[in-house]
Homo-oligomer: A and B are copies of this chain.
Amino acid sequence: MARQEDVEAAIVARREQVNDAIERELPVDEPEELYEASRYLMDAGGKRLRPTMLLLAAESLADVAPQSTDYRSFPTVEGDEIDVMRAAVGIETIQSFTLIHDDIMDDDDLRRGVPAVHREYDLSTAILAGDTLFSKAFEYMLDTGAKAERSVAATKRLAQTCTEICEGQSFDIDFESRAEVTTDEYLDMVELKTAVLYAASASIPAQLMGAEDAVEPLYGYGLDVGRAFQIQDDLLDLTTPSEKLGKQRGSDLVEEKQTIVTLHARQQGVDIEGLVETDSVEAVTESEIDDAVAELEAAGSIEFARETAHDLIASGKDRLEVLPDNEPRQLLAGIADYLVEREY
């Protein structure tokens, strides 16, 4: 089993390389403002978890020692070479595109500690920056040097993934105005909105490298881990101190955002709308949040969310058995654990 510090070191090391690749692949060309805005959120931070997952899956499939091999000329199962880093950059640009457009839709002001793109620039520039990252991602995915039929398979997966992300976001918006959403419906939405991009990240290297047998198991690993990631996000809002979260703890409750915890509690008969009376994040008190969390705990809802996340992580890790037993595989299992053990 990979130790947590090894997992974190693996993420940091790959993040640096992904950032270098983003600088090379997405230079600030003319029109300058468009490309600055396209880069803005990526330059502001981010863990690069999805590209890291992609690179680790590639390393495990090629059965090479971690970071022993140039990602730009990476061996496939037949020994020819592909640029697997370009695929990783494609995944990150899709992630960044969805954040930029989601922040507009959710009217969020901040992201990664900086103004959202539509606040730093304006609405038009943000829409256009997202669209640019969207099409760039397809350019990258089609330019890895993989055999044509493999490029087609990987790019189809990317396109279907993007469609599903849109569907998930649409369900999420719809849920905000629907009284009765079940935890199953919620998990289906999370699968589309969040998990499919993890699934694409983990499985696309298998498609590009010709490791057919590993495609579906790795896709399943990504789906499980991605769903667990969102559940953990929902939990962190309730359980992590505000200082650590970087925003008010319990803000989901104040804003009456539906999460797996509140949806479970409602199914248990808890009056969710009445949990927190204060209706602004600025005015709510810690003790009001404490009382609400205690009620959710009493309903078994926090435990339900924790168990669901842990079951998903266990299932995801099982699927990794399709990979050769090597260090990159251990790190992929470690990332799964990391996602539900992280505190922010």
Contacts and interface: CB of A to CB of B under 8 A. Distances in A.
A160 interface: yes
Interface residues on A, range: 35 or more
Max chain B C-beta neighbours (<10 A), residue from A30, A105, A158: A105
Integer count of this chain's copies in the complex:
2
A170 interface: yes
B166 A132 contact: yes
Interface in A116-155: 123-125, 127-128, 130-132, 134-136, 138-139, 142-143, 147-149, 151-152, 155
A318 interface: no
A136 B163 contact: yes
Contacts of A128: 101, 105, 166, 169-170, 173
A139 B123 contact: no
Contacts of A124: 104-105, 173
Contact of A143 (B156, B162, B166, B169): B156
A249 to B, nearest CB: 27
Contacts of A160: 135, 139
Contacts of A338: none
A123 B136 CA distance: 24
A136 B162 CA distance: 9
A94 to B, nearest CB: 10
A34 interface: yes
B174 A155 contact: no
A35 to B, nearest CB: 9
Contacts of A136: 159, 163
6 shortest A-B CB distances, which residue pairs? Answer: A135-B162, A148-B148, A138-B159, A105-B124, A148-B149, A34-B170
29 contacts: A31-B174, A33-B174, A34-B170, A101-B131, A104-B124, A104-B127, A105-B124, A105-B128, A127-B127, A128-B166, A131-B166, A132-B166, A132-B167, A134-B135, A134-B162, A135-B159, A135-B163, A135-B166, A136-B159, A138-B155, A138-B159, A139-B156, A139-B160, A139-B163, A148-B148, A148-B149, A148-B151, A148-B152, A155-B155
